[in-house]
Amino acid sequence: MEILHTVAELRHWSRQQRTTGQTIGLVPTMGALHAGHASLIRAAAASCGRVAVSIFVNPTQFAPNEDYARYPRTFEADCALVQAALAQTKGANVVFAPSVEELYPAGASTFVEVEGIGDRLDGASRPRHFRGVATVVAKLLIAAEPDRAFFGQKDAAQVAIIRRMVSDLRLATEIVVCPIVRDADGLALSSRNVYLSSDERAQALVLSRAIRQAESLAASGERRANALIEAAREAFASFQELRVDYIELVDWATLEPVENAVSGSLFAVAAWVGTTRLIDNTILR
């Protein structure tokens, strides 16, 4: 598996594959890969002839007070995980690992802003976060020209931003969303889980519990957002040390709050466990 470092190399690889009739799948990541990322890579391999996995900790999606500097960087282990996830496939798959200067050349001042949606959910508490996300994903899509790009439902607000951007910019890539991969006890896998102490790891389970509480209430026929949000809030009640950032029922396309759930509504939570901000969600059926 080749490791590419420049946009020119990635574009050349992609076009080369295309001349031999291959379809291209792109899996954008920030590294510190886990089984959630592996599921995206396997999904890409299952539906595309060639796979590119990008590994790039994108500085523009972090605020100055956030964890950019200490974000886990585990490049060798990441390459081993990509290799293992693609073990059943034949052909020239690649890891794309650019430098910051490669994706943001000196003087770079062009950003992609998805207005409105970009300021909701995580965008409300992390101003300019989604501007950074949309910008880097646009750069990756323009460089790799993939047929499909694979994203996790884990970051459901991010999915809404990317879908809107791809539609607005008339990009040719199909966006594929993969289910949330969880630990056996329900905690959604996240590269940031390594920040948690063992006490915090136990407290963090309240996010998935809150999601399940709302889900089962919805399954019993409750549609009102207030009731579903209240059910989730109750799960947090016995954990005073956790700080809820948001608990919301929204339209998954616009991220606007809805008063009543319909099939496809996004129920999402974000909370601080110590100094670590975690998110979780479910799509109500």
Name the residues annotated as catalytic: 37
Rounded to whole angstroms, how far apart are CA atoms 61 and 59? 6
* Of 14-22, 28-36, 95-103, 261-269: span binding ligand AMP (CB under 6 A): 28-36
Binding to ligand AMP (CB under 6 A): which residues in 181-240?
181, 188-191
By beta-carbon proximity to ligand AMP, the closer residue of 187 and 231 is: 187
Among 112, 165, 180, 187, binds ligand AMP (CB under 6 A): 180
Token digits of residue 131: 């501007």
Taking a C-beta distance cutoff of 8 angstroms, is the pair 46, 169 a contact?
A: no
By beta-carbon proximity to ligand AMP, the closer residue of 82 and 225 is: 82
Token digits of residue 68: 């950019």
Alpha-helical (H) ranges within the chain are: 7-19, 35-47, 75-85, 100-103, 122-125, 129-144, 156-168, 198-203, 205-219, 225-237
Rounded to whole angstroms, how far apart are CA atoms 100 and 60? 10
Residue 107 CB, nearest distance to ligand AMP (Å)? 26
Interface mask toward ligand AMP for 135-164; x: CB under 6 A = ----------------xx-xx---------
126 near ligand AMP (CB under 6 A): no
Rounded to whole angstroms, how far apart are CA atoms 69 and 233? 32
CA angle 57, 90, 19 (to 5 degrees): 80
Q: Which residue is nearest to ligand AMP (CB)?
A: 152
Total residues interacting with ligand AMP, rule: CB under 6 A: 17
Among 7, 24, 26, 29, binds ligand AMP (CB under 6 A): 29
- Give residues in contact with ligand AMP (CB under 6 A): 29-30, 36-37, 39-40, 151-152, 154-155, 178, 180-181, 188-191
